Structure formats: C-alpha cells, structure tokens
Amino acid sequence: MTFKRFAMSASSQVLDGVFAVNKPTGMTSADICNEVKYKLSKSSLFAPVMEAQSSQRDDFKRRGQRLSRKMRQTKHVKIGHGGTLDPEASGVISFGVGDGTKALNHLQKNAKKGYEAVMVFGVATDSFDREGKVVGRKSWDGVTRDVVEARLAEFRGKVMQRPSVYSALSRGGVKMYEYARQGKDIPELEKREMFVSELEVVDWMEGGKHDWRWPSEEIEKDRKDAFVKALRFEEIGGVEVVEGSEKQGLEHDESEKGKGKRKRDANGYQDQKRSKVAGDDQPEAQDKDVSSQDRAEEHDTLVDDTRDDPAETTPAETTPAAAQQDEAKVQVPCPAPALRIRMVVSSGFYVRSLCHDLGVAVGSLATMVALNRTKQACFELGENVIDYEDFSKGEDVWGPKVAARLNEWPSLHAKLKEDEGPAVE
C-alpha cells in the first residue's frame, strides 16, 4: 500500500489496541512512550482520533459545559506502556493505544516474558548489575560451562526467588531501595514462587577473550556493612569484601542537590536527559501519569528486571551503554568468564537475581552486565515488534506497521487468553 492510499484509508483503521516496540539501550521507557505518543498524535493515521477529541471539547464549550480535567489535558493520543525496561536494557516494550491501555496490566502481570542476559563471574554488586557498585569478589576457579549447565536444572520450573534489594517493595512503609541507598540495615525479603519454563546457555565466553568488564566502582564504606549482610557473604563463604570508597552514599547525594548533581533513582543510577528521535521536532512535555508510572516500575527492573523490570545523562555526558564502551577501551580484558543465558519466565521474575544466584550456585559470584527482553506475551523480537528507529524515518515507514499491529491485536489478544496456563499466573 502506498502512503497516499494508507493515509486515505486511515479513518477506517482500527485505532485501539496494543503494539510493541524494540527499545534501544540508553533510553527510559517513558522516553520511548513520549516519543511514540508525539509521533502518533501528529500523524495522519490518528488524525480521526485527534479530530474527534477536538470536536468533543468544542461541543462541550458550545453547550457551556465545564471541561473535565481529563478533557482539558487530552490533546494527544491516549497511550501507555506495559512492562518497564531499565535504560541500559533493550528489547520488547508493549504500548496500549486507546482502549488497548486496558490490556496492559494483563500483559504486565499475567504473561510470559523472554530474556537474554549476559553475566560475568567473580564479583557481586549492590544492585546485581553492572551499574551497581562492587561489594565483594570471589574466585571463579572451577567454573566452567559444564558446571553451569549442570546447575541450571535447579533454576527451572517452579522456583523460589528472593527479590532484589533494589526493588520498590516496602517494609515498614519504606521502599527497599531507600534502605539500600541509605546504608541502613536492609530487611530480609521473603522468597517468592516464580516459574521458569525455559533456561539455557547460549554462549560461553572464556576469561580474557570477551569484551565484557567488571564494574569498577566500589561501594561506599558507609553502605558496605549493610550489603555484606544483605548479600549473605558469611553464608556464601570465601568472599573478599572490598575496602570500600571514601565517598558517602545518599546523604552526600542529597547534600549536593542544587549544585548540579542529579538525584539517583531506585537502582542507584543517575537520571539522564531524554534521547530524541533523530530528525524529530521537540515532543510534548512528559505527562505526569506516564512519569509516575514509569518511575514506580523502574524501581524494579535492571528489569524489568522483570518486576517490570533504571539512568539518564546531561548533554555533555554519554549514555550508560556508551560510557561502558569507553571504559572497555582502557580496561584490560576481564580475566573471569562470561555467560549468555536465554530464558522464558513468569511475570515478576528478577533476571539479575537469577544471575547472582547462579553465580553463587557454581561456587563464585556473578553480576549481570547486559539484558535484552526478547518476548512479552504475544510480542516477540523478529516477528511482530517494530524497531524504534523506524519512528525517525517518517510516517510512510512506521504508519503501516503500527496500523497492521493494531489490526492484528484482537486476534492476538484472544489467542493469548486461550493459551494461558498456570505457569504464567
């Protein structure tokens, strides 16, 4: 279909539903949502929706009726995202449009999700991922691919998993990540039942022969003891606890407010500026509802983790992914092996916790250094997910793809409900 014919038929398209976008690293989920919302709101495809909203407001004004707050603010396409990914993670994010937003909770809470994660052995960080600070180190002698694969069976099927310390779960009215940031004694979280339907090794990388690096920054001394206890180093045994940084934790961050220092988020990462789609006009300001939802969810993910399943930069700085690449150029090769694993899990699963637990299970420590969500419910990379870069290429590129996905949604949703089983509840 040519773009002209596509635009002419836009009024007959299904404009409610869910589609998915392949998120790149270095952007928050809210960034992506706002970029997509801006594109849709200015498009020919959604022109009928915008015209209907405008007509409704004009009709209320003619009748002398007071516009509700919602009607006053509705000057864009109604859109939301389900299942937040951290900025340094990539992969599938679903977007609900119009009435499709009602299905997002279902996609976030009740559907299987697929991930590929890379982990390096030998270190443990406070957040279980590369953006965290090193708390301890342990030898990886004896850790081989065969040893790892022999222990994977313990992590398949119904498993009991302890949530990450950096989570949005509360104890005594205080979020867990606040305990973690302040260096207070961290309450023990109960293990939760999860389901892992698939788990396999897809790549084994010998030490010194891969490009992944250990995190370089050590945890602050005023927070170290709390994490040594929370990570159960005494129970694990053989862990070399780091000396710790002389920097101060949360109190120092708070005292620097107003001096240009950005506040850290729930995972201890600094906020970063919005990354714009190339060639795009400046999008509308981020809505409060999108921002609050995104921040609440980002507390849980690297992911998503996937607790649905955190950093943003000033213009003078690089994204976390770029910073990692720059750091890799000056660091010597990591002597410890790295591992890429693929999994399909129930919602609420913490991928970084799995990486940490697997490292302990094989007699070492481990931290996650990369995460890619490959599947969310009925959306899967390489099948029916739109590349984020398409939105910078014009409506003649992304418009037909969004329209096609929205038209497919009713049948996908129906099939998703039929296929659900106890493993994803």
Whole-number Å distance between alpha carbons of 94 and 219: 35
At residue 316, the pLDDT reads: 33
Q: Is 287 in the active site?
A: no
Mean pLDDT across the stretch 59-72? Answer: 62
Q: Three-state DSSP class for 31?
A: helix
The tens digit of pLDDT for each residue in 111-140 reads 899 999 999 999 999 999 999 999 999 999
Whole-number Å distance between alpha carbons of 313 and 72: 32
Alpha-carbon distance values, 410 to 4, 17, 81 (Å) = 26, 7, 18
Whole-number Å distance between alpha carbons of 107 and 110: 6
Q: Which of 54-63, 230-239, 276-285, 350-359 comes out lowest in average pLDDT? A: 276-285
Mean pLDDT across the stretch 207-228? Answer: 93
Most confident of 97-106, 204-213, 262-271, 303-312: 204-213
Whole-number Å distance between alpha carbons of 379 and 252: 43
Average pLDDT over the chain, rounded to whole? 77
Mean pLDDT across the stretch 297-321? Answer: 35
Say how far residue 244 (Cα) sits from the centre of its chain.
28
At residue 106, the pLDDT reads: 79
At residue 171, the pLDDT reads: 73
Q: In terms of pLDDT, which residue wins out, 314 or 366?
A: 366
Element (H, E) at 289: helix 288-298
Whole-number Å distance between alpha carbons of 286 and 34: 6
Query: Which residues, at least 6 apart from 258, have a Cβ–Cβ distance to it below 8 Å?
Result: none
Encoding tokens for residue 323? 């910073």
Encoding tokens for residue 130? 């590369």
At residue 180, the pLDDT reads: 67
Partners of residue 210 on adjacent β-strands = none
Encoding tokens for residue 109? 């809470």
Mean pLDDT across the stretch 97-106? Answer: 88
At residue 183, the pLDDT reads: 64
Encoding tokens for residue 155? 């992590």
User: In 128-166, which positions are buried (b, 16+ CB within 10 angstroms) versus exposed (e)?
Assistant: bbbbbbbbbbbebeebeeeebeeebeebeeebebbbbbb
Q: In terms of pLDDT, which residue wins out, 277 or 46?
A: 46
> Would you say residue 63 has pLDDT above 50?
yes
CB burial of residue 267 (10 Å; 0-12, 13-18, 19+): buried
Decide: pTM greater than 0.85.
no
> Would you say residue 20 has pLDDT above 80?
yes
Provide the pLDDT confidence category of residue 169 given band limits of 50, 70 and 90.
confident
Provide the pLDDT confidence category of residue 47 given band limits of 50, 70 and 90.
confident
Partners of residue 341 on adjacent β-strands = 117, 201
Whole-number Å distance between alpha carbons of 350 and 164: 7
The tens digit of pLDDT for each residue in 253-271 reads 444 444 443 343 443 334 4
Provide the pLDDT confidence category of residue 295 given band limits of 50, 70 and 90.
very low
Residue 54: how many CA atoms within 13 Å on its side-chain side? Answer: 8
At residue 260, the pLDDT reads: 42
Mean pLDDT across the stretch 160-185? Answer: 75
Provide the pLDDT confidence category of residue 33 given band limits of 50, 70 and 90.
very high
At residue 52, the pLDDT reads: 62
Task: Name which of 282, 250, 279 is nearest 264 in CA terms.
Answer: 250
Q: Which of 38-52, 259-273, 359-373 comes out lowest in average pLDDT? A: 259-273
- The DSSP letter of residue 248 is -
Whole-number Å distance between alpha carbons of 399 and 6: 8
At residue 203, the pLDDT reads: 98
> Would you say residue 420 has pLDDT above 60?
yes
Residue 25: how many CA atoms within 13 Å on its side-chain side? Answer: 15
What percentage of the chain has pLDDT greater than the value 70?
67
Whole-number Å distance between alpha carbons of 293 and 297: 6
- The DSSP letter of residue 162 is P
Q: Is 419 left (phi over 0), alpha (psi -120 to 50) or beta?
A: alpha
Beta strands in 296-378 (DSSP E): 338-345, 366-376
What percentage of the chain has pLDDT greater than the value 90?
49
At residue 303, the pLDDT reads: 34
- The DSSP letter of residue 275 is P
At residue 82, the pLDDT reads: 86
The catalytically annotated residue of 86, 308, 309, 357 is: 86
